[in-house]
């Protein structure tokens, strides 16, 4: 029997297990994964950091859902050859993280980027090779205050992952085996690119209007004007997605359920503005504007959202605080 090189590779790795996991980024998303994997992996779960940040994490650990966690912290060089690297940095830190990613990855390392947006896999893959990338996304309800992170397990769906071609490869099986019997909720997707774009549309249409207006999630239920802004932003994402061959028109719109989500709930962009941090609006509307320009698709609502949130960042920075 003659096997293709891909079939040979699948058979060679059929029983491969992920033994070591490196996590780059210890914000809300990273903390969810750290909390879920630590009991299973122990010292084989490595948090990537250098310099004073490494010293602080080693000394103070992390507080996740009111639980103090000690960490195994490694530099990128020390983590070279990890079986799985999970990238969970902020979008604005991705470019400066590429050197660290390259230092960690060897020929066999699988890389999952659980960042929001639709282009982080390509940015990372351009540096290390797309053959390392496993497409993924994450849905969690979380909040970060200082060095403390809380996530709501009742409404946290967890990690979605899959091969771009939908195949159930040895890599998918290895990640499934890792997450199984851990504290990480997971879903294997045979249409992961559609999932990623649907979440992208959700983030743009639900994150940005409330950040601009400064309202809780209940604004989408109680104001037709807030909901109209959300709808217009999403329509632009749907149009761009169609142009790149991904149809998310039938994806269900987000709904507000006061039984599980407080009307006061604030998504990540508004949380960033509240804390006077810079947001990830470049990853949301910024990337969409770039794609729209390339594809000759008009995105005026996202252009305005980008300008307003950038202005709010400048206001937080004190650029035009005239008191």
Burial environment of residue 308 by CB neighbours within 10 A (0 to 12, 13 to 18, 19 or more) = middle
Q: Report how far residue 30's alpha carbon sits from residue 311's, in angstroms, rounded to the nearest whole number.
A: 28
The residues near 255 (Cβ < 8 Å, ≥ 6 apart) are none
Query: Angle at which helices 94-104 and 120-128 pack, to 10 degrees?
Result: 40
Q: Which domains are delineated in the chain?
A: 5-190 (3.40.50.720), 195-316 (1.10.1040.10)
Q: Which of 167, 193, 186, 263 is nearest to 223 (CA)?
A: 263
Q: Which of 192, 178, 117, 153 is nearest to 32 (CA)?
A: 153
Q: What is the pTM of this model?
A: 0.89
| Three-state secondary structure string covering the chain | CCCCHHHHHHHHCCCCCCCCEEEECCCHHHHHHHHHHHHHHHHHEEEECCHHHHHHHHHHCEEECCEEECCEEECCCCCCCCCEEEECCCHHHHHHHHHHHHHHCCCCCEEEECCCCCCHHHHHHHHHCHHHEEEEEEECCEEEECCEEEECCCCCCEEEEECCCCCCCHHHHHHHHHHCCCCCCEEECCCHHHHHHHHHHHHHHHHHHHHHHCCCCCHHHHCHHHHHHHHHHHHHHHHHHHHCCCCCCCCCCCCCCCCCCCCCCCCHHHHHHHCCCCCCHHHHHHHHHHHHHHHCCCCHHHHHHHHHHHHHHHHHCCCCCCC
CB 256 within 8 A of CB 226: no
Give the residue ranges of the chain where pLDDT is below 70: 1-14, 253-260
Query: Angle at which helices 300-316 and 224-243 pack, to 10 degrees?
Result: 120
CB 110 within 8 A of CB 177: no
Q: What is the pLDDT of residues 53-105, one digit of tens each?
A: 999 999 999 999 999 999 999 999 999 999 999 999 999 999 999 999 999 99
Quote the pLDDT of residue 10. 59
Burial environment of residue 208 by CB neighbours within 10 A (0 to 12, 13 to 18, 19 or more) = buried
CB 86 within 8 A of CB 159: no
The residues near 321 (Cβ < 8 Å, ≥ 6 apart) are 315
Task: Work out whether strand 186-188 and strand 62-64 pair parallel, antiparallel, or are unpaired.
Answer: unpaired
């Amino acid at each position: 029997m003659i096997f293709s090189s891909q079939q040979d590779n699948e058979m060679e790795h059929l029983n491969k297990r992920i033994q070591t996991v490196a996590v780059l980024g210890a914000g809300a998303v990273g903390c969810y994964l750290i909390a879920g994997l630590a009991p299973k992996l122990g010292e084989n779960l490595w948090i990537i950091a250098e310099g004073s940040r490494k010293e602080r994490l080693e000394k103070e650990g992390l507080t996740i859902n009111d639980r103090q966690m000690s960490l195994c912290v490694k530099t990128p060089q020390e983590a070279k050859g990890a079986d799985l690297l999970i990238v969970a940095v902020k979008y604005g830190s991705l470019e400066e993280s590429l050197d660290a990613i390259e230092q960690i990855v060897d020929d066999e390392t699988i890389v999952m980027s659980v960042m929001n947006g639709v282009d982080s896999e390509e940015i990372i893959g351009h540096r290390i090779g797309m053959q390392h990338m496993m497409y993924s996304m994450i849905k969690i309800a979380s909040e970060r205050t200082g060095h403390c992170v809380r996530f709501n397990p009742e409404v946290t769906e967890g990690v979605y992952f899959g091969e771009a071609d939908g195949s159930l490869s040895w890599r998918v099986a290895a990640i499934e085996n890792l997450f199984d019997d851990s504290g990480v909720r997971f879903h294997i997707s045979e249409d992961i690119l559609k999932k990623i774009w649907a979440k992208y549309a959700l983030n743009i249409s639900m994150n940005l209007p409330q950040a601009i207006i400064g309202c809780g999630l209940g604004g989408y239920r109680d104001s037709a004007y807030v909901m109209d802004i959300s709808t217009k932003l999403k329509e632009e994402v749907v149009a761009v997605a169609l142009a790149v061959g991904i149809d998310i028109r039938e994806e269900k719109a987000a709904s507000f359920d006061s039984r599980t989500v407080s009307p006061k709930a604030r998504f990540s962009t508004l949380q960033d503005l509240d804390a006077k941090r810079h947001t990830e609006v470049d990853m949301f509307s910024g990337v969409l504007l770039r794609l729209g320009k390339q594809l000759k698709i008009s995105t005026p609502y996202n252009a305005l959202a980008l300008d307003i949130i950038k202005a709010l960042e400048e206001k937080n920075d004190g650029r035009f605080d005239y008191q």
